C-alpha cells in the first residue's frame, strides 16, 4: 500500500511562488503535469485536463476549494459528490492519472481518521498489530514525558545509537495514548507535529530513519515509559505565529539578506517587521521603529560591517538589549554577515551570545527560530 502524502494548493503555491487560486487554475488547465501531487504519483497534464472535463466540473472544484486545504479532508469532501465518487470508483483510469490517484485515495481512506493518518502523517516505526492509529487522549504529563525521554536519551547515548539520539532531538516529540479501528488501546504513539520544511526532510529521509525510530521506541519502554507502537511525524498546517520578528539591517544588506529572510519567514507563517513594508509614506520613522521593537518577540540583527557603521542601528540594538534585560529572555539574535571575528571586534557587547553565520540557508534560520520559540514556550509552561 502506498502511503500518500498530498501537496496542498498552499504548498504547491509556495513551490511555484504563485497564489493558491493560481494553482487551482493551473490544475484546471492541466498545466501541472509531472508535479508529484501525492507521494510517488505524477499526474500527466493531459490526464488532469481530461479528468476535469469528464468528472470534476468547475462548480464542484469551487465547493472543494476550502476542503482541499487539508489533505485529511479529501476523502470526506469527495464523498459529498455521489455521482463523482461513482465516476471515480467505477472508471477505468490510466496509470499515473488524476482519476487513478483519486480512486486510490477513496479506496485507502474509508474512515476519515485513517485518511488523516495515511495522507498527513509519516510513520517512521510501526510495531505489531494494525497499521493504523488515532490519537485517543491528551499527551503524557509533560514532567513525566521529560523524565522518560531524558532517561531514554542517556541509554541511547551509552549504547552509541547516535542516529536515534539525533531523531529524538530533531522534533518536539510527545507521547499520546492511541487506538485503532480494531479498538486496541494498549499502546502509545510518539508523535511530533512539524512545519512543512521539516516535514519534507522527514518524508525524504523516512527509510533511513526507520531503524533509529525502532531503537528509540524500544529504549523508551526500557526507560520506564509506555509501550510505543508507533513513532510518527505529522505535518502541522499552522496559523500565523503569534510572535513577530523585527529584522534589523543595513540598507546594503537588504537585497541579499533582509528581503529573502522577510519573504521566507512570512510565507512560513512567522510575521516579520521590515522597514520598507511597515513604514509608509509620510509616517514617522522613529515612531514606527519603536512600535515594531515594542511588539517583537525577537530582534534578528543582520550583523555586518555596514550595519555597525550606522548610528540608528546602535540605537535599535541598545533598545532591544534593554528589552532583553527587562524581560529576562533571549530577544537579540545575531546573524553575522562576513567574518565573525572581524564583525564582533566592533560589537563586543554581542560576543557572549551564540550567533549564526549567514550563508544563504533560509530554512536553517527558520528552524532555529522555531526551536527557540518552542524551548521558551516549554520553559514558560
Q: What is the mean pLDDT of residues 302-313?
A: 88
Cell triple for residue 39?
507521494
Res. 327: pLDDT tops 60: yes
Mean predicted confidence (pLDDT) in 311-337: 85
Residue 301: predicted pLDDT: 92
Question: For 34-48, 283-297, 363-377, which range has the lowest pLDDT when averaged over its residues?
Answer: 34-48
pLDDT over threshold 80, residue 287: yes
- pLDDT exceeds 80 at position 148: yes
- Cα–Cα distances (Å) from 174 to 48, 103, 127, 140, in that order, read 40, 34, 18, 7
The predicted model gives 291-313 an average pLDDT of 88
Classify burial at 321, counting beta carbons within 10 Å of its beta carbon; exposed 0-12, middle 13-18, buried 19 or more.
middle
pLDDT at 356 over 70: yes
**For residues 33-43, b (16+ Cβ closer than 10 Å) or e, as one string?**
eebebbbebeb
Strand partners, 203: none
% pLDDT > 70, the chain: 66
Sign (positive or negative) of CA dihedral 330, 332, 338, 344? negative
C-alpha cell at 43: 499526474
Residue 213 has pLDDT above 90, yes or no: yes
* Highest mean predicted confidence (pLDDT) among 24-33, 208-217, 341-350, 359-368: 208-217
Record the cell numbers describing residue 126, joined without a space. Answer: 510501526
The average confidence (pLDDT) of the chain is 76
Q: Of residues 200 and 207, which shows the higher confidence score? A: 207
Check whether 370 has a pLDDT greater than 60: yes
Please tell me the distance from the alpha carbon of residue 176 to that of residue 88, in angstroms, as a whole number: 36
Amino acid 26: pLDDT: 60
Under the banding of pLDDT at 50, 70 and 90, the label for residue 156 is very high
Average pLDDT score over residue span 191-213: 86
pLDDT at residue 162 in the model: 95
Q: What percent of the chain has pLDDT over 90?
A: 28
Q: Is the pLDDT of residue 319 over 90?
A: no
Question: What residue spans in the chain does CATH classification 3.40.50.10140 cover?
Answer: 245-380
Between residues 31 and 293, the one the model is more confident about: 293
Mean of pLDDT values over 102-112: 56
Q: Pick 245-380's CATH classification: 3.90.76.10, 3.40.50.10140, 1.20.200.10, 3.40.50.720.
A: 3.40.50.10140
Q: If you average pLDDT over residues 36-56, what whole number do you get?
A: 45
Band (pLDDT 50/70/90 cuts) for residue 131 is: confident
Dist CA 246 CA 223 (whole Å): 42
Q: Give the separation between CA 122 and CA 105, rounded to whole angstroms.
A: 16
Amino acid at each position: 500500500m502506498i502511503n500518500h502524502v498530498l501537496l496542498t494548493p498552499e504548498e504547491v503555491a509556495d513551490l511555484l511562488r504563485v497564489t493558491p487560486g493560481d494553482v487551482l487554475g493551473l490544475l484546471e488547465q492541466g498545466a501541472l503535469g509531472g508535479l508529484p501531487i501525492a507521494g510517488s504519483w505524477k499526474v500527466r497534464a493531459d490526464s488532469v485536463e481530461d479528468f476535469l472535463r469528464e468528472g470534476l466540473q468547475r462548480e464542484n472544484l469551487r465547493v472543494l476549494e476550502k476542503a482541499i486545504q487539508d489533505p485529511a479532508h479529501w476523502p470526506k469532501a469527495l464523498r459529498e459528490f455521489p455521482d463523482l465518487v461513482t465516476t471515480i470508483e467505477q472508471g477505468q483510469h490510466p496509470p499515473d492519472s488524476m482519476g487513478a490517484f483519486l480512486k486510490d485515495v477513496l479506496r485507502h481512506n474509508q474512515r476519515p481518521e485513517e485518511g488523516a493518518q495515511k495522507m498527513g502523517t509519516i510513520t517512521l516505526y510501526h510495531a505489531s498489530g494494525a497499521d493504523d492509529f488515532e490519537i485517543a487522549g491528551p499527551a503524557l504529563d509533560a514532567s513525566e514525558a521529560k523524565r522518560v525521554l531524558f532517561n531514554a536519551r542517556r541509554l541511547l547515548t551509552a549504547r552509541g545509537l547516535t542516529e536515534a539520539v539525533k531523531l529524538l532531538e530533531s522534533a518536539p516529540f510527545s507521547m499520546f495514548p492511541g487506538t485503532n479501528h480494531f479498538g486496541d488501546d494498549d499502546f502509545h504513539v510518539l508523535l511530533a507535529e512539524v512545519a512543512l520544511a521539516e516535514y519534507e526532510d522527514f518524508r525524504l529521509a523516512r527509510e533511513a530513519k526507520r531503524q533509529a525510530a525502532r531503537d528509540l521506541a524500544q529504549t523508551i519502554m526500557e526507560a520506564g515509559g509506555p509501550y510505543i507502537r508507533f513513532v510518527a511525524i505529522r505535518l502541522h498546517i499552522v496559523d500565523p505565529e503569534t510572535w513577530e520578528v523585527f529584522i534589523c539591517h543595513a540598507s546594503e544588506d537588504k537585497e541579499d539578506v533582509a528581503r529573502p529572510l522577510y519573504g521566507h519567514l512570512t510565507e512560513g507563517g512567522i510575521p516579520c517587521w521590515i522597514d520598507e513594508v511597515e513604514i509608509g509614506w509620510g509616517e514617522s520613522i522613529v515612531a514606527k521603529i519603536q512600535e515594531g521593537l515594542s511588539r517583537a518577540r525577537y530582534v534578528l540583527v543582520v550583523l555586518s560591517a555596514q550595519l555597525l557603521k550606522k548610528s540608528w542601528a546602535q540605537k535599535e540594538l541598545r533598545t532591544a538589549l534593554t528589552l532583553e534585560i527587562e524581560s529576562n529572555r533571549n530577544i537579540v539574535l545575531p546573524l553575522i554577515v562576513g567574518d565573525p571575528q572581524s564583525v564582533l571586534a566592533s560589537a563586543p557587547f554581542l560576543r557572549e551570545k551564540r550567533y549564526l553565520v549567514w550563508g544563504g540557508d533560509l530554512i536553517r534560520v527558520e528552524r532555529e527560530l522555531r526551536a527557540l520559540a518552542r524551548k521558551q514556550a516549554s520553559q514558560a509552561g
